[in-house]
Structure 1
């Protein structure tokens, strides 16, 4: 390893080269290998050694099913560089991916707007540099203006992307909805291409942890929207014009689906990330 480079992950696994020189390899198959991740690169050691430089990553996809052998694999990480895609699977895919996020982002410098949106209201804040630190639990940002911003990886309600020109440079911006002091906020993040390639995968992984796969009726969505806009749980029956017993049944169902959670008393509830995601989708549908 080069000076300053150190190992973050070392485990037996498999890889498949799905794209070489820009061409998909339809007959590619999995090869057993040793997967070594350092602060600089991913090294795949099998019949020969293959290496992917972290700073060369253009995209980190969760799926790139080039053929049936790839499609039937339950979990892998797709590493895309110019003209090349490697699929990598390990016994603990989550641990490997978190190590990859750390390798790419830890101590990197991002541009941050925080809070860009607070309580649904756009805030007039400037882009500011921030140093990023990734852990199993959170994305932590030390902002140049002194702010300490923490985005809980279990509390990412939704992520949108936008293309903007910032300081004369075209950039991909991630708009991340999460909570701060029990209020909904958006933090906007961008950076160099090799940072945003991995940041996108990290944020989408957070969304997928909580993506609601629900079949909610109109009244249940009204309850979610009422909570999202600040209506007290005790006022919900009158707000949605339903009796208390019906609203209690709705609360039970939404708690079961992990859309709301009990805070103090039985009917004192608040939206979870999944619930905020449903609320955002309902607003969009409207």
Structure 2
């Protein structure tokens, strides 16, 4: 490839330029500039600068019968939009996803405002130039003054848009995450909409994992009452301030919430975890808070 390879494994893949409908088996090679899918019949080279979207587990309908555990890339070359689908065994797809996003976004300069909000309150934080550092399960923002690490399992919400950052409308992601029981919001402004879309997709894939875990949790009315009370109290409160009733019943409810990682305890106070906050905001929106 002429440059250092950061990923190299055997997989099955299909690209739009193949003269066949079935996938082939070959080598998947990733450098910091390009992705190469090589097989006996030739190879497909995808410049990383052309990649506009990435998804995991979603396959185009005409190829769904051929694939199971996959990663799909959308890319544009010569104004033509193309799709490449890659499948591999073991944990290769999961590891490749992390390496690919890290290669696409890591080290790029961004504009950051942190924390832009604390508990919903707008702060006077200044905008700083920073670099993104991605690793499995975390997003690190490095400035001259230090760094901020966002544990992606604590992200409760994010949205994309054009925000006024440093006196100019810029493609920006607003990320809300939990830190020591408090919701903090970080604004990250990317150089262009392509990179904004890629970072948004990375967060979406991590957020999807949390939502899949939450979907398997059954929440009783008593548990819901505790979660909503904590949410209304700002995410943290003493037990006596939010719960009344039979002690044995209350302890059973709390134990179940702790077991499902929806609340945590800090001394005499109870706190909503990131997962608990998502349950409140995403699954019980019909509750009058």
Per the TM superposition, whether the score is higher than 0.5 is yes
Correspondence list, 1:146-161, <5 A: 146-161=145-160
Alignment pair present for 1:40 and 2:46? no
Residue by residue, what CA displacement relative to the aligned partner does 1:85-130 show, whole Å, maximum 9, x if unpaired? 1111223211101110111112111222211221122224344321
Please list every run of 5 or more consecutive structure 2 residues that lacks an aligned counterpart in the other structure.
Answer: none
Q: How many aligned residue pairs are there?
A: 272
Could you tell me how far 1:170 is from its partner in structure 2?
5.3
2:247 aligned residue = 244
Could you tell me whether the CA contact under 8 Å between 1:75 and 1:89 is conserved in 2? yes
Rounded Cα–Cα distance in structure 1 between residues aligned with 2:164 and 2:55: 25
Aligned counterpart in structure 2 of residue 61 of structure 1, from 55, 63, 70: 55
- TM-superposed CA distance for 1:277, in Å, is 0.9
Secondary structure of 1:58's counterpart equals strand
Query: Per residue, is there more strand in 1 or in 2?
Result: 2
- Say which SS state the counterpart of residue 154 (structure 1) adopts: helix
Q: Do the aligned partners of 1:10 and 1:37 also contact (CA within 8 Å) in 2? A: yes
Match of 2:94 in 1: 94
Paired residue secondary structure (1:36): strand
1:219-254 deviation per Cα after TM superposition (whole angstroms, max 9, x unaligned): 32221132332222343323xxx3322222222222
Matches within 5 A, 1:118-133: 118-133=118-133
**Cα distance in 1 for residues equivalent to 2:105 and 2:206:** 16
Alignment correspondent of 1:187: 186
2:130 and 2:141 in contact (8 A); partners too: yes
Structure 1 portions without partners, runs of 5+:
none
1:71 and 1:184 map into 2 onto residues whose CA distance is 43
Give the whole-Å Cα distance in 2 for the aligned partners of 1:143 and 1:226.
Answer: 37
**Shift in Å, 1:56:** 1.3
User: Aligned-residue CA RMSD in angstroms?
Assistant: 2.8
Secondary structure (helix, strand or coil) at the match of 1:28 reads coil
Normalising by structure 2, what TM-score? 0.81
